[in-house]
Each structure stands twice: as C-alpha cells, then as structure tokens.
Amino acid sequence: MSNIYESAATTLGLFNSPCLAKVELRVTCKGISDRDALSKPDPCVLIKMQSHGQWLEVDRTEVIRSSISPTFSKVFTLDFYFEEVQRLRYELYDISSSHNGIKEADFLGAMECTLGQIVSQRKLSRPLLKQGNTVGKSFIMVTAEELTGNDDYVELSFSARKLDDKDFFSKSDPFLEIFRINDDSSLQLVHRTETVMNNLNPVWKTFKTSLNSLCSGDHDRPLKCTVWDWDSNGKHDFIGEFQATFKEMRGAMDGRQVQWECINPKYKIKKKNYKNSGIVILNQCKIIKMHSFLDYIMGGCQIQFTVAIDFTASNGDPHNSCSLHYIHPYQPNEYLKALVAVGEICQDYDSDKMFPAFGFGARIPPDFKVSHDFAVNFNEENPECAGIQGVVEAYQNCLPKLQLYGPTNIAPIIQKVARSASQEMHTKEAMQYFILLILTDGVITDMADTREAIVQASHLPMSIIIVGVGSADFSDMQMLDGDDGILRSPKGEPCLRDIVQFVPFRNFKHGSPAELAKTVLAEVPNQVVDYYNNKGIKPKVPSEFESSRTFAP
C-alpha cells in the first residue's frame, strides 16, 4: 500500500448522522482449535467498532460451553450508514467455566471487516487471525439481516357526504387535513388534500404516505382530521373534525368503508339537535411494501464505481508544489483525498473490487491528441484498476506521461458511463447501479452538453458526484445539483430524478475527508431506491444469487 493511499485512508472516521437502517448481525464460528486436550473451548465473541482510531466494545455474545463450532443466539443490532466506513472487529475468546472475565480468558483469534462488506455480501465468512496468521482451520461467519421498520407506505382514498354549507351563493369548497398527534401533544401535518370546489359530497384524490409519517409506526397513535371550506383570502371556514387511528383505517383494507362523524365542537354545545357536520368516509386503505436500499444490496445489487479526473492545464504543472496535481511523498493532494474518501465506501459494495478510472482534458500518448475520456492506466480495452489503491497508483503513474491541456469537458465521460448503465437498464433487474465520481478544478466548458447528458442519465441506474477541487468560483456548477430546482436540458426536458451532487472540496479542507464522503454519498441510497421502485423492479431474493456469487477479499 502506498504512503499516500495509507495516509488518506487513515483520515477516515465515524460521525453521528441519521442512520439509513438498522442491521441485525448473527455470528457462527467453525473449527475452533482445542487449546486443552482434555476439554473443548468455551467460546465467546466480542464485537468492537472503531471510533477515532480506537476499538470500542459494542457488545458480546453469550458463552457456549464445550463447543468448537458454536452458533451464538445473541443478535447484534447496529445502525447502518452507507456514507461512512464502519470498521468492525470480532474477537473470539475461550472463557473457562470457573470465570467469565475477558481479562483472564484465552484469546483465540480475531477478524476485521466493515459493516458495508457484511451487508453487501449478506454472509461474510473469513478465517480467524492471531498475530497476523491463521489459526488452524478456524473461521467466523457473520450474517446480516435488515431490521425492518416503518418503511411501508399506505394508500388512502377519502370522500365525504352531507358536509355543512358555509357559502351563501354556492356550496362549500371542502378540503381535508390529517395531522399526527405526537407524544408531546404537538400536531404534525401528514397530508392536505386538494380542494373540491362547490361540492358538499366531495371525493378527494387517492394519496400515498409512509406509515412512519402517518403514525410513526404506531397503529394506535391518534390522528386529528379536520375538514375546511376553502376561501380565496386564506381565511378558511372550519367545517368539523374527528379523531382516528391507523388501526381503525385498516378496516377499509378488505373492501369495506370506514366512516367518522365530522363534528364542530361549537355547534355541538350551542345547537340542541346538532348531530354532525357531515360524514367523512375512507373508501380504501392499501399498504404498499417499499423496498429499502438494503433490500437491493442484500439482493445482490452491486455498486459500480467509476472515477473521472480533471487533467486540464489550469491545475498547474504537477512538478510544481503549488499544482493541484503535485505528488507529495506523504501528504495526499485534494484529488487523492476526495478519491479515497468516496472510493473507500463504494468499494465495499462491489464484489470484484475493479474500478474503471478515466481522465479528461489532457493530451495523451502516443500522438498527444486531446482526450476527454481516456483510461488512466492507458488500457482502453480494460480501464479497470484493482481496488482504490490501484486507482491511486494508476493516477500517479500517468501524470508524468500526460500534457495537461483543456478544455474542461465532462459530457463525454458522463455519456461513456451512461452507455454501460443503459445496458443494465435493459436487463430489468436490480444487479448493477453506477456511481460516477468526477473530480475537477474548474467550471466546465460544455455546460449545455453536460446538462443534456445528465438529463438522459436520470433515466438510468446511475448517480453522479462532482467534487470541485481548488479555489475556483464554482457558483455556476451549483445548477447541476437539482437541490435548488429541476435541472433541464437545453431543449427544456427536465431531469426524471435528481442524480447529481456537487460540493467544493474546500468546504471540507480543514476537516476529515470522511465528512466529504458523508455529504456526497448521503443521497445515494434514496437515489438507488427511487430508481428501482419507479421502474417497478424488485430486489432479488438472496437465495437466487447466493450459490453462484463470489467475492474478492
């Protein structure tokens, strides 16, 4: 491993952010060596997680007496963060029957990995190591399973009849609001229907919301539902309200209607014969299973990671210490920091650990013509590099052979990766999702072509991450990130999905590159899920691919 790669990789750490999912891990060991000829070991496994360079114990299994191939019943539950490298260490101990203390136990071996590796392979089996050497034929197997939560959606269809008429010259214009009542009694708006004009018997459009949004997964949580008569001045007239629960709403799942009286509390007090202000009816309640990111990853979907590096002359002479491409023997430049930070995470979700690496904006040998999509290893037939370390080495080796030039065109490389993603799209299976990391030092010069390429790529299983390196003004690049509005092609065609994330590296220059990775990769899980869910592509069942799937170490 090169010093540059090592120094960049070791800067990665762990950060607190909302977890993507919870994962359950189960542990089995096989072939534990007998330390005592008269008895079998009493194994126990500790799981540790690395934080700021320190191994901290998370939990431990029970002790199983006299077993060389224990299957532990203890289940470890961990928060899973796609955008972070979560390093784990499993330590196996032989704890004699006379005591249970780890300090007095015999250390039998350990295995280190990342949570991402376990999740992507679903079953990770590795030999136990002691002082860097294997321990006989002992190995440990960790199995991962997503702890399913409130990721399902519910589809609801409401109507009403005989609502109070609040208008003098026409009928009421009703709309319905549904609020979740939180534990602190505060109200959280879940959905507001459209307004049905001039109608006391409205039928509102069917809508979809997550169970988490509707009731926080608690089917008995009270919901406050309010019906209003819309007014153009914003001072809507109150018609009535009622309380419901999702448990009650589920009554409409078998074709029956569920209904509630819409009550105006003031009328109920003032009017002697007041009955209600109308009836609100739930005509349909349908639960929709929404597949999660982990469903697709555990179903065999691979993250195909590709990197593209800017070799235009504006980076400066690589021999000059002021150049953005200057190779310091121990301190990685910004290109390498960004590459390693993002690549370290993506590599855990790619079984063969082979990554295509391209360059753009340079004159390349042998004829030194300008290219905007050349292989960094100069092997156009096979641009893949072995691991992130291989990409780093190819980058270092190619620099002396190039003539940095220009302009800064990135549309060709987007189109190149899009062609591969297009082939995957036609399979109609969730097997490969493409992430293109573009590292550039300046504002691109083919903005129109790039916009067109991105819009076309938004129809494909593909995401694009652009990291701005150096001190250039990147304000024009923000338009490629759809956070502030929908990106459109020069012809006006909108992006089908928001697939671009742009960040300037200088925003993370004084922090860990892991913060950069966390920021640029945070949206990827939702982008993966949105693509496959919108296409109606379900994840494979693990048994469909496990028997034939192989993994690189």
Most trustworthy range by pLDDT among 12-16, 293-297, 372-376, 512-516: 372-376
Q: Which of 124, 94, 168, 96 is nearest to 23 (CA)?
A: 124
Cβ neighbours for 443, distance < 8 A, ≥ 6 positions apart: 408, 472, 473, 474, 476, 477
pTM over 0.75: no
Question: Does residue 496 register a pLDDT over 50?
Answer: yes
Question: Does residue 355 register a pLDDT over 80?
Answer: yes
**Residue 17 banded pLDDT, cuts 50, 70, 90:** low
Question: Does residue 421 register a pLDDT over 50?
Answer: yes
pLDDT of residue 213: 77
Decide if 247 contacts 219 (C-beta within 8 A). Answer: yes
Question: Does residue 280 register a pLDDT over 70?
Answer: yes
If you average pLDDT over residues 126-139, what whole number do you get?
90
pLDDT of residue 492: 87
One-character DSSP codes across 73-134: ---EEEEE-TTS--EEEEEEEE--TT---STTSEEEEEEEEEHHHHHHHSEEEEEEEETTEE
Kindly report the backbone phi and psi dihedral angles of residue 192, in degrees, each rounded to the nearest multiple of 5, phi listed first. Answer: -125, 125
**Residue 8 banded pLDDT, cuts 50, 70, 90:** very low
Question: Does residue 47 register a pLDDT over 90?
Answer: yes
Q: What 8-state DSSP symbol labels residue 264?
A: -
Nearest-angstrom CA–CA distance, 419 and 356 = 14
Nearest-angstrom CA–CA distance, 527 and 465 = 12
Q: Which of 215, 223, 166 is nearest to 195 (CA)?
A: 166
Q: Radius of gyration over alpha carbons of the chain, in Å?
A: 29
pLDDT of residue 237: 93
**Residue 479 banded pLDDT, cuts 50, 70, 90:** confident
Question: Does residue 439 register a pLDDT over 80?
Answer: yes
Question: Does residue 111 register a pLDDT over 90?
Answer: yes
pLDDT of residue 477: 83
Question: Does residue 253 register a pLDDT over 80?
Answer: yes
If you average pLDDT over residues 23-42, what whole number do you get?
83
pLDDT of residue 146: 79
Q: What 8-state DSSP symbol labels residue 71?
A: B
Nearest-angstrom CA–CA distance, 367 and 323 = 25
Nearest-angstrom CA–CA distance, 340 and 507 = 17
Cα 95–Cα 96–Cα 98 angle in degrees, nearest 5: 125
Question: Does residue 2 register a pLDDT over 60?
Answer: no
Question: Does residue 314 register a pLDDT over 80?
Answer: yes
Kindly report the backbone phi and psi dihedral angles of residue 484, in degrees, each rounded to the nearest multiple of 5, phi listed first. Answer: -95, 5
Question: Does residue 149 register a pLDDT over 60?
Answer: no
| Structure tokens, 113 | 């990995």
Decide if 153 contacts 105 (C-beta within 8 A). Answer: no
If you average pLDDT over residues 522-539, what whole number do you get?
88
Residue 401 has a CB neighbour count (10 Å cut-off) of 12
Reported as a single tens digit per residue, the pLDDT across 376-412 is 999 999 999 999 999 999 999 999 999 999 999 999 9
pLDDT of residue 160: 97
pLDDT of residue 124: 94
Average pLDDT, the chain: 87
If you average pLDDT over residues 262-275, what whole number do you get?
93
Nearest-angstrom CA–CA distance, 360 and 306 = 13
Q: Which residue has the higher pLDDT, 515 or 90?
A: 90
Nearest-angstrom CA–CA distance, 30 and 137 = 8
pLDDT of residue 413: 97
- Any idea how long the chain is? 553
- Beta bridge mates, 466: 438, 502
Question: Does residue 192 register a pLDDT over 80?
Answer: yes
If you average pLDDT over residues 268-279, what whole number do you get?
93
Q: Which of 76, 80, 140 is nearest to 116 (CA)?
A: 80
Q: Which of 113, 104, 106 is nearest to 33 (CA)?
A: 106
Q: Environment class of residue 195 by beta-carbon count within 10 Å: exposed (0-12), middle (13-18) or buried (19+)?
A: middle
Reported as a single tens digit per residue, the pLDDT across 197-242 is 999 999 999 988 878 778 888 899 999 999 999 988 778 999 999 9
Decide if 125 contacts 111 (C-beta within 8 A). Answer: no
If you average pLDDT over residues 360-369, what whole number do you get?
94
Sheet with 369-371, strands from edge to edge, namely 369-371, 362-364, 403-404
- In the chain, what percentage of residues exceed pLDDT 90? 54
- Provide the Cα torsion 145, 149, 152, 157; round to 10°: 160
Q: What 8-state DSSP symbol labels residue 509?
A: T
If you average pLDDT over residues 190-195, what whole number do you get?
89
